[in-house]
Amino acid sequence: MMQFSMHFGLLVLLPCISSLDFTDPCEKSPRTNDASDFAKLIDYLNYSVNYKVDPCEDFYQFACGNWIANTNETLMNWESISPFTRMLDLYKQEQRKVLNSKEQSKSYAITHARKFYHSCIRAEEEWNSTGASGIDHIMGKIEKFGIFPMLREKPFDEAQFNAKFDFTWLLAYFNQDETVLDVIVPDIQPSMISFVPRKSLFTFMGKEFTRELQMIYTEFILRLMKLIAADKGINYYKTNTPSDILALRIFMEKIYALSAESNLQKNQKGFFLPFLFLRRVDETIHKVNWTEYLFLTAPPIAHPYIAANPIVLVPGGEYIEKLNEVLNETSPRTLTNYVIVHYILKQLKLLEKKYIDLLEWFIANIDSPKRLSRNGICFDITEKYYSVAMQAMYARSQPTETIRPVAEEMVKAIMTAFKNEIQENKWMEKTFKEAVLEKISRITWSLLDDDLFHNDTALDELYAADYGLSDQAFLEMLAKVALIRKTEVYLQIANVTKQPDPKKFRTIGYDVNAFYAPMANHIMIPLPFLQFPFFDESFPRSFLYGTVGFTIGHEISHSLDVTGRMYDANAEKREWWKEKWSKEYDKRAHCYEEQYDSVKIRKFNISLNGTLTLGENIADNEGMKIAYRAYKKYSAKLKDAAKSEYVDGFTQDQLFFLGFSQMWCRKTADFTLYEDLFDKHTPHEYRVDVVSKNFPPFATAFHCSPKSKMNSKHRCSIW
């Protein structure tokens, strides 16, 4: 992806826009210190803002119109480009630098992560020198299983094969969590096993599994099987590969249709995952005994938890019932081929160049050409399995002494603002306020730059099980590391007697985002989030409260959204609200549902789903209020000159809202935009406009007339 660059002079004069009903920059803008003090921000605003658009009519297009126009990167079908993706690219560049650093580290974890990465890169050279290959490793496991029908030269007794077929054991053997349902994916609550629906193989190809895509898929699998057959000395022409691929494609179409129908139901009805007991799932999906699957794949310490018939999350009763029908009508031969082909495909990009070339061919034919570099592939796999070690390397390379004080200041200020919001609330009774204030007071936070990242002993303890693995061949090492990580996940799930340690959530890996964990009442702010254009030491606090401050407010507000409010001040999930409190909350939350339901996306003639996105919409709107409140309290302490200072024609209040909006500038492929309709987050454009409409200080800041679109008469609020 192209890296972000700016080509602006330090002094950029704003055009006079007399027709807009907001502060005229040409008439009211002192410009004395702009170039020297805020040059970086001015350049960025001129890169992003479309001054031809009236912010009171369409704030998103005003704030992001030029950003979208100036974004020239080519989009693949499922991609989007935003400040988040660019920041993530920059973060990964920095990670690559520290991963490739020749500087010696005393930490075993860091040293081993680097060895793992370089072993991955050198794998093909080693295969060439020894005469072995990556496909040998994969096919070795398949041969131990017994029969791979698709590449079977000799006929076999299919009746006997069918009689002995055990889909549960097949899934457990290849441990393919993504084959039909994800299993052993912990929900955000560590004591919960989550069954999450997955799209069928390569269903990212488009909104429909068209005839053209079916032909490309068929050709791809045919070429793959021919490559494997040639490498393994199998006579391809004595196999039933073509007919097996046809059956596989038909099965895929059925699974894909279920996923598409599930998405449609999510958008039309709202979609909340139901809770079921594990044995009830077994009774619904007869083809797989998930209890047995868990016993086969989990370490013994987790077995008592599984035997106790735990509650699990499922993608919906109707979905799994239909899935059961599809599985029952599909032959054991096709199910076996599906699992094994999926097993191969999941590891395809780790194999020799000719296999990666084939994968590139496939991607180019379904979308646009994309090079898959060995370095990039190995980076991703190292980040997956050594995320904490890589976080530590990154943290040690960053000037956190300048970042941390600003983050601490904002968190404290926004926590105080939230408390003040509750204390001044008119509809809450005293005991309710006290309970909510207690929960807010117990919220903890971390910059994800804790002592572990700078403490070799603590860091190495986290990877103690990995000792001795670095001397093995890469794919053998990868298999053992994956098993260790899977065991760690099981242990986390089974550890239901202890209160979650917020520090453990560092294992989520770094991201250009922030997180709230309701089961720990804890906010996490990864370091990569605190970089340009969301954070810069030269930016005024008004802008930073709009970017970083809004994000902190959003995460804090999750503590009392539709999910967060289920957890009390001790982060225990229980009923702690009186019925009348819940009724008033639900009534106010319903206002948000109706408001977002009324927004129609013209391109697809589909309305937003206010039910599906309710939790995020509450966090957006309530987070905006407390971030702005904290900013105004900070501003009140400033001298009059600083309060009234303009930056390139914008007031400090306007900069707050511009900071908020800049986070959501995005250029999006149509397919990705369509997929956004089934996400729990409202699409970016509407996150900006609906939140701004809901908040009166926005209309005040931009002097929007009562009749303007952004000065809504119908507003929603919880607190």
User: What's the mean per-residue pLDDT of the chain?
Assistant: 82
Q: What is the pLDDT of residues 568-607, one digit of tens each?
A: 999 888 899 999 999 999 999 999 999 999 998 878 888 8
Residue 670 has pLDDT above 80, yes or no: no
What is the rounded CA–CA span in Å between residue 362 and residue 257?
Answer: 22
pTM passes above 0.85: no
Measured from the Cβ of residue 199, the count of other Cβ atoms closer than 10 Å reads 16
- Residue 490 pLDDT grade (very low, low, confident, very high; cuts 50, 70, 90): confident
Pull the structure tokens for residue 574. 């229980």
Q: What is the pLDDT of residues 627-659, one digit of tens each?
A: 999 999 999 988 765 666 788 899 999 999 999
User: Which among 527, 531, 528 has a CA at the least distance from the CA of 539?
Assistant: 531
Pull the structure tokens for residue 582. 């819940």
pLDDT of amino acid 677 = 77
Q: What is the four-CA torsion angle of 429, 430, 436, 439, rounded to 10 degrees?
A: -170
pLDDT of amino acid 231 = 93
Sheet architecture: strand order including 181-186: 181-186, 193-197, 311-313, 275-277
pLDDT of amino acid 499 = 52
Q: Does residue 667 contact residue 75 with C-beta atoms inside 8 Å?
A: yes
Span(s) in the chain for CATH 3.40.390.10: 1-72+530-719
Q: Which residue has the tokens 């590969």?
A: 241
Q: Highest mean pLDDT: which of 79-93, 318-332, 513-527, 681-695?
A: 681-695
**What is the rounded radius of gyration, in angstroms, for the C-alpha atoms of the chain?**
27
Of the listed ranges 95-109, 119-133, 189-203, 218-232, the one predicted with least confidence = 189-203
Span(s) in the chain for CATH 1.10.1380.10: 138-351
Beta 80-81 vs 667-668: how paired, if at all? antiparallel
> What does the pLDDT average to over 130-138?
84
> What does the pLDDT average to over 406-412?
93
pLDDT of amino acid 641 = 56
530/311: higher pLDDT: 530
Is the previous residue joined to 533 through a cis bond, with omega within 30 degrees of 0?
A: yes
Of the listed ranges 158-167, 190-199, 397-406, the one predicted with least confidence = 190-199
User: Which among 306, 346, 289 has a CA at the least distance from the CA of 490?
Assistant: 306
What amino acid occupies position 438? E
Q: What is the pLDDT of residues 272-328, one digit of tens each?
A: 445 677 888 788 777 888 889 888 888 888 888 889 888 776 666 677 778 788 888
> What does the pLDDT average to over 511-530?
86
Pull the structure tokens for residue 14. 């704003």
Q: What is the pLDDT of residues 5-17, one digit of tens each?
A: 222 222 222 233 3
Phi, psi values for residue 277, rounded to 5°: -75, 150
What is the rounded CA–CA span in Å between residue 388 and residue 46?
Answer: 38
Q: Which residue has the tokens 């050409």?
A: 369
Q: What is the pLDDT of residues 22-60, one digit of tens each?
A: 444 333 343 344 445 789 999 999 999 999 999 999 999
Secondary structure letter of residue 573 according to DSSP:
B
CATH of 138-351, one of 1.20.120.140, 3.40.50.720, 1.10.1380.10, 3.40.50.11820: 1.10.1380.10
Residues 6+ apart with CB under 8 A from 461: none
pLDDT of amino acid 175 = 67
pLDDT of amino acid 639 = 72
Residue 197 has pLDDT above 60, yes or no: no
First to last CA, the chain: 42
The percent of residues in the chain predicted with pLDDT above 90, rounded, is 42
399 burial via Cβ count (<10 Å: 0-12, 13-18, 19+): exposed
CATH topology of domain 1-72+530-719: Collagenase (Catalytic Domain) (3.40.390)
